[in-house]
Amino acid sequence: MIRKEDVKTFLEGMGAAAVGFARVPDDVEILELQRRFPRCVVFGYRLSDEVLDSIIDRPTLIYKHHYKTVNWLLDQAAFRLVSRIEESGGKALAIPASQTVDWQNQKGHVPHKKLALEAGLGWIGRSGLLVHPRHGARVRYVSVLTDWDFEPDPKLDRDCGDCAECVLRCPARAITMDGVDLKACLVKLKEFASLPGIGQFICGVCVKVCDGKD
């Protein structure tokens, strides 16, 4: 069977900035899919600092294009990983990096950030995003569910400490020291989606301000 070290080398060779391995918790909600896999490989690509620097208080057109491009690259890499696992005798399923299944609650097939948390890739920050210890929130993730048996990576025991940049900069005022008002966030995302050329529920401000630098 394929080894964790081989998978990590394979994904890093395709540009992955973060790779983790986890068990899929029983309480993780999985939508549309009929089968539950016991484990997952989660990996992410770091977003371009130059692109994120174009964001002030709303998404830019170049950020929208970059966002779509990185999602596409993640999906391609996940597809290739599934092939590697299947060739070694296992079963696997690539979950799209960005596909909404439940529009009312803005949920995908699985919560990538929760699986990334389980895989030790970071912690859930005040913004509700996964915060990587080196890259901050400037990473987009994808998950591959599998029956491949491996030893999960340990979870991180960290938090945002005193940092409140996302609280101060959120254009929707949806982020507080106590959590995120998802309804207020969604209202602002809908507003941004109506901007000329955007057409997607994206923002990027809290991603930009959380750059992983102390």
Sequence letter at residue 36: R
Per-residue confidence (pLDDT) for residue 66, from 0 to 100: 98
Is 135:18 a contact under the CB 8 Å cutoff? yes
Per-residue confidence (pLDDT) for residue 118, from 0 to 100: 97
Supply the DSSP string of 68-101, one letter for each residue: HHHHHHHHHHHHHHHHHHHHTT--EEEEPSS--S
Per-residue confidence (pLDDT) for residue 170, from 0 to 100: 97
Per-residue confidence (pLDDT) for residue 214, from 0 to 100: 56
User: What residues does each domain of the chain span?
Assistant: 4-209
Which residues in the chain show pLDDT less than 70? 214
How many CB atoms are located within 10 Å of the residue 61 CB? Answer: 12
- pLDDT tens-place string over residues 73-126: 999 999 999 999 999 999 999 999 999 888 777 788 999 999 999 999 999 999
Is 96:108 a contact under the CB 8 Å cutoff? yes
Per-residue confidence (pLDDT) for residue 101, from 0 to 100: 87
